[in-house]
Structure 1
């Protein structure tokens, strides 16, 4: 593939759908596993998700190699959040997708490890900054849904403190960027060692 086209075929859509489902399942599992530890949940969840999720993203990137991939990925993630009741997250993730996609301008960017790392880190920043969106957009409705979903008051208070103090948010961003980059490095090794041999990616 040239990497210059945005014409997604059925097989491309299926690949994205399968990898997105796997990514979301992993994200849900990580979220459920860390929600009882507020500090880990707020400062580490996005990074852990990005570390593991990099594998699924890289499979898509190397198989499809078409512009628009990360935009579609981010938009679908926003749609999933909207379907769960967080409708205000859809426009947010559309913007995140646009910014990440801009980093992939050029030929065969989706098969370039460095470009993929940059793109995935931008998306990761969007993931961790998304923690603050509910507070600034719809705190009362978010608080009600979060408490009904099993959040503790302590978690919500730590979340509020995190997003209202730039230095604390910066810690979350740095952790997420680091784990996102390490995830791409780890994913690249898996691609070379297993996925390419199995013919899953070219």
Structure 2
């Protein structure tokens, strides 16, 4: 009986595929919100990450509540880090794996992936990792970052504001606060969606 229970709590290949499917949706959201906010540097640098956390919180909550297994954030971090590694930023894989490990620490306990408060804490930590992670390529590989960012349509104004944000701790703190607020609001909205639709449809337990 104990062996069976432990087996149920281990992530399976099917679970990983479920996580990957939801991550595809989050990447689509990122692919849309990034270009849309890029023309307004403040929105792109200070709000975009939080906006993505708000819009994608429901995708994460579906996975968390459906699987209710530890390791969800680890898979999330590995997949996301691998995708960024394909862009040439290999150092982002261990970075996001570290962020995912912190998220998993916030989820220690039984049935925490179905606990709205604990999910909000874990998702908010991931959001902070995202906004800080935007600065990692600048610190680690400036020349490569400039080349890729320029090819993506970054203006000099964006570069200047980005450097100002990273050099001023108060500006970075503002970006983190915005991300935290939007991450929390995203989880509040996502949990409401889950209660009204997904649970009734039997998608989650």
Question: Which residue pairs with 1:201 in the alignment?
Answer: 204
Compared CA separation, residues 155 and 200, structure 1 to 2 (3 A) = same
Counting only pairs closer than 5 Å after superposition, residues 1-202 of structure 1 correspond to structure 2 as: 7-202=10-205
Moved over 4 A (4+): 1-6
Of 37-46 and 8-17, more deviation after overlay is shown by 8-17
- Aligned Cα root-mean-square deviation (Å): 1.7
Could you give the per-residue CA deviations for residues 82-101 of structure 1, whole angstroms, max 9, x where no partner exists?
11232222121111111111
Change (3 A) 1:91 1:6: farther
**Pairwise CA distance, 1:36:** 1.2
Going from structure 1 to structure 2, the CA distance change for 1:164 and 1:3 (only over 3 Å counts) comes to farther
Query: Any conservation in 2 of the 1:104–1:119 contact (CA below 8 Å)?
Result: yes
String of CA shifts for 1:109-155, please: whole Å, max 9, x gaps: 10000000000000000001112111211111111111012111211
Tell me, yes or no, if the aligned pair for 2:16 and 2:75 is still in contact at 8 Å.
no
List alignment gaps of at least 5 residues for structure 2.
Answer: none
Residue pair 1:4, 1:66 contacting (<8 A) in 2 also? no
Cα distance in 2 between the residues matched to 1:10 and 1:87: 25
Cα distance in 1 for partners of 2:8, 2:197 equals: 27
TM-score by length of 1: 0.95
**Paired residue secondary structure (2:69):** coil
Larger Rg: 2
Deviation for aligned residue 1:4: 9.4
Report the TM-score, using the length of structure 2 for normalisation: 0.94
